[in-house]
Structure formats: structure tokens, C-alpha cells
Chains A and B, each alone.
Chain A
Amino acid sequence: EAGVVQSPRYKIIEKKQPVAFWCNPISGHNTLYWYLQNLGQGPELLIRYENEEAVDDSQLPKDRFSAERLKGVDSTLKIQPAELGDSAVYLCASSPRTGIDEQFFGPGTRLTVL
């Protein structure tokens, strides 16, 4: 079974530029999460999707971050404009369905904002 796929793996941009991250969850997994992980910290939730519906986006900085999960499969997370403090690893995770709490992470995208 293929795992969670993310791209790109690394991204370097200058501040104020836009950036987008893509995630393809494990086949058949209805729940998708985007987490942010800073160095020395645990992952922190940005947004959670049940199928195509964003059911928890309370931690997403909506002034600059947006996300979508069209058709309830792939998801894209966008930052516009990026700030220096956005430098971090952006992790996508998925779980089979609501109520199944085990989450499986993709390799992450390491973002550096200069």
C-alpha cells in the first residue's frame, strides 16, 4: 500500500512570494490533516478534512493560508504571501475514516522563506 505522498519535498522562496504544497493521502483514507512542525516542536494542526469538507480550520491563519480538497482526495495548502516565520516543515497525514484515530504521515515539505 502506497503511503501519503507530498510534493515538493523542499521549497525555498523569498518573503512575500506565494507557495503551494500538494498532498495525496493513502488510498481510501477519508480524513486528511495538514500539520506544521517547527524545529524542536511536535506537529501542530492547521486544518482537518473529512472527505472534501474542512471540519476544523480553527488554527489556520486565514489571512495568508488557504487550503482545498477538491473531490475529497488530493489536497493543496497555499501560503500567500509567505513570511519569514512560515519557515517550517509542512506535514500531511491521513486516517481511514472518522473515529479511527491512527494517522499516517507523508514525508513533509520543508519550506525556507528568505
Chain B
Amino acid sequence: QKEVEQNSGPLSVPEGAIASLNCTYSDRGSQSFFWYRQYSGKSPELIMSIYSNGDKEDGRFTAQLNKASQYVSLLIRDSQPSDSATYLCAVNPQAGTALIFGKGTTLSVSS
């Protein structure tokens, strides 16, 4: 059973702080990794993809991947109240197949 694990939270951070969201996965052969943001009552929105070890930055978001540790994280710098949402980690164990999602981590940014 291929699994993706996330801490459900809630993770609470003050406005302007760095939010750190973590995810582990069970299939060592997984090739691609994604972070989706989901606001309450809305559908998942792709915010980051990462395919190789290391860091990938996009604006205030940084995705980090460590395949040896089977670990992927998302850092949100200068957190804003509008970042309050559930963040879903998704892993593709094999190119061209469906994503396996974690249950999501709820982030709350207080002003």
C-alpha cells in the first residue's frame, strides 16, 4: 500500500512568520512530488512541483525534496492570512499514473 503521510495540524503561525509543512511517502521509487493548496469548499490548486533532490523556490514558496529520506516539505515565507488553507502533498509513484495524496495539513495564519 503506497502511502503519503502528513500531520493534519492545525498548524498555526503569526502573520509574517515562516510556515513549514512536511510530508513523507512510502514508495522509494516515486518520481514526482506536488503541493496543492485547498481552500475550504474549493478544489485543490497546484502551487509547487518538484522532481529532483534539493530546493525549488517560487516566490514565497520553497519546496524541498530528499529522496533518500523519502521526505518532501513546503516552506511559506512571510505567511499571510490568505495562506490559511489545507495543503495537500501528492506523490506520483510512476510517471503517467495517478497521484497519491496525503490527508492534508491545515494552516492557519493569524493577523
A positions within 8 Å CB-CB of B = 31, 33, 35, 40-45, 48, 56, 89, 91, 98-99, 101-108
B positions within 8 Å CB-CB of A = 4, 8, 31-32, 34, 36, 42-46, 49, 88, 90, 92, 95-99, 101-104
Q: What distance in Å separates the Cβ of A100 from its nearest Cβ neighbour in chain B?
A: 8
Expressed in whole angstroms, the Cα–Cα distance for A108 and B41 within the complex equals: 9
A104-B103 in contact (CB<8A): no
Expressed in whole angstroms, the Cα–Cα distance for A106 and B45 within the complex equals: 9
Query: Given contacts A42-B103, A101-B34, A105-B43, is CB(A48)–CB(B98) below 8 Å?
Result: yes
Q: Is the interface of B mostly helix, strand, loop or mixed?
A: loop
Checking A33, A42, A108 against B104 with a beta-carbon cut-off of 8 angstroms, the contacting residue is A42
Tell me the total A-B contact number using a CB cutoff of 8 A. 57
B98-A104 in contact (CB<8A): no
Query: Given contacts A41-B103, A56-B97, A99-B96, is CB(A104)–CB(B32) below 8 Å?
Result: no
Query: Given contacts A42-B4, A42-B88, A108-B43, is CB(A102)–CB(B34) below 8 Å?
Result: yes
Q: What distance in Å separates the Cβ of B26 from its nearest Cβ neighbour in chain A?
A: 14
Expressed in whole angstroms, the Cα–Cα distance for A107 and B102 within the complex equals: 19
Tell me which residues across on chain B come within 8 A of A35, comparing CB atoms: 98
Tell me which residues across on chain A come within 8 A of B43, comparing CB atoms: 89, 91, 105-108
Expressed in whole angstroms, the Cα–Cα distance for A91 and B31 within the complex equals: 23
Query: Given contacts A103-B46, A105-B44, is CB(A45)–CB(B98) below 8 Å?
Result: yes
